[in-house]
Structure 1
Amino acid sequence: MSTGENRRVGQVKEITSLTNPIVKDIRALAMKKFRDQQNAFMAEGLKLVIDALDLGWTIRTLVFGKSQRGNQAVEKVAARAVAAGALVLEVSEKVLGAITRRDNPQMVLGVFEQRWTTLKQIRPADGDLWVALDRVRDPGNLGTILRTVDAVGAKGVILVGDTTDPFSVETVRATMGSVFAVPVAKAGVDAFLAWRKTTDARFIGTHLKGSVDYRTVDYARGAVVLVMGNEQQGLPDALADACDALIRIPQAGRADSLNLAVATGVALYEMRRHALPSVGREEQ
């Protein structure tokens, strides 16, 4: 990949052509096949790039718009990227728009190495909360769930089966930077069920046929893995049968189900209610 080859520490290049091979390689990261080949992905926005660097993610390429020359915050990030051995590109807004496929692109973006957690590394301790997602299809849902997991202080996400890519442009955008803070693992159903036997965590699934109101369960005891089903089909029998309890979220209106990200958020906030700080509490 051109963004990772022939790189010198301290190298800054100015690019104005859409046909530049480095630009072509970065644009290709919109495709999962290329992301997998290069073990890389793109994150847009100065804040996301700073978050990633602060959390120790490996940056390969930093791209910023020519209009940002003289912006102290951008120049500081560029210096950090150069020091980390990354290629730094100063480009026209036309090139930025082509890379991001947006009319009003962010003026800073970074190309980072992917980072995965393995099931063997996940050993839920007392009070830990993980989310397992079965065949999640929508990148917006996955990104929103990663952001919510980050917000409530849960430990991470396990992707089960054939899921959407957490490092797609759409998912990363939806995480608003939480992709850099939330560990993500992926596993087939069989591997996930085998791992389930190695942990003492309680597995709690949401299910339309769940017999337990989600508000009545004591989540403060031990570690918990919240198991969420696919957007269209819900939890398959193999995963539902592996759960210690199946909960339901009551609904008073005509809708018979909630959006996956919404349902996950509702359950997560209830599960973490005892651990979240109170807002607006008066001092005694």
Structure 2
Amino acid sequence: MPREITAYSNPLIKRVRNLRDKRHRRDEGLFLAEGLRILTEARETGRLPQFLFYARESAQHPLVRALIADVESAGGEAIETVPDILSKLSGKDNPQAVVGVFAEFTRTLDSLDRTSADIWLVAERLRDPGNLGTILRTGDAVGAGGLILIGDCVDPFSVEAVRASMGALFTVPVVQCD
């Protein structure tokens, strides 16, 4: 049975809100993803959030119900809340119907099977999260084996980069290296 949180002062709301900051994401090993499309894409790749926050009004949508069921069956927690709290979590005035908290999934250069694809994307010192999202979506569209980020690049798990990827973060492997 999903629990309900409607208070801004709830410790979990404060903890999740802090994930918008890189330092807290690194400390926790968690990141935020928002929107039904992105969370459905993640679900289709086998990645489920540890926490799923959803608006009370969206609870009857079939995709939201499927997410709730899958998250709970995988041992995660589904939390019903109000749009104002979703707005606080996402940092947007017009929040999406769902916000998920995922474990970061990092890969190393050595873990990539370079023979698995004909196309690999490489970016050096990529700074803009919107550009990262565009590159990930393009890589997804052309069947790239992954994206290799070299040097001081934008955090692929930032809220802005995840949003810009429109779910491609879950389908295109990303490696960060020097």
TM range (shorter): over 0.9
Identity %: 42
Match of 1:54 in 2: 44
What SS does the aligned partner of 1:16 have? coil
SS of residue in 2 equivalent to 1:115 = coil
The answer to whether the 8 A contact 2:35-2:99 is kept is yes
2:14 maps to 1:24: yes
1:149-201 residue CA offsets vs partner (Å, 9 max, x unmatched): 1111111011111111001000011111100000011111xxxxxxxxxxxxx
1:179 is matched with which residue: 159, 169, 178? 169
Residues 126, 79 of structure 1: alpha-carbon distance in 2 compared, 3 angstrom cutoff: closer
Q: Give the aligned partner of residue 97 of structure 2.
A: 107
CA contact (8 A) 1:140 1:170 kept: yes
Aligned to 1:63: 53
Distance, in Å, in 1 between the alignment partners of 2:116 and 2:86 is: 46
Match of 1:207 in 2: none
**Do the aligned partners of 1:29 and 1:40 also contact (CA within 8 Å) in 2?**
yes
1:39: Cα distance to partner? 1.1
Task: Name the CA distance, whole Å, in 2 between partners of 1:20 and 1:67.
Answer: 21
Local SS of the residue matching 2:78: strand
Aligned AA for 1:149?
Answer: G
Q: Does 1:157 align with 2:147?
A: yes
Aligned to 2:26: 36
Give the corresponding residue for 1:13: 3
Deviations 1:52-86 (A, max 9, x none): 12212242100000111322321221011100111
CA 1:38/1:126 → structure 2, altered by over 3 Å: closer, same or farther? closer
Structure possessing the higher radius of gyration over alpha carbons: 1
- Aligned match of 2:135: 145
Q: Is the 8 A contact 1:132 1:160 kept in 2?
A: yes
2:31 and 2:102 in contact (8 A); partners too? yes
Q: Which has the higher helix share?
A: 2
Structure 2 portions without partners, runs of 5+: none
2:89 and 2:117 mapped to 1: Cα distance?
42
Q: Cα offset for 1:119?
A: 0.9
TM-score, structure 2 length as denominator?
A: 0.95
TM-score normalised per structure 1: 0.60
Alpha-carbon contact 2:117-2:143 (below 8 Å) kept = no
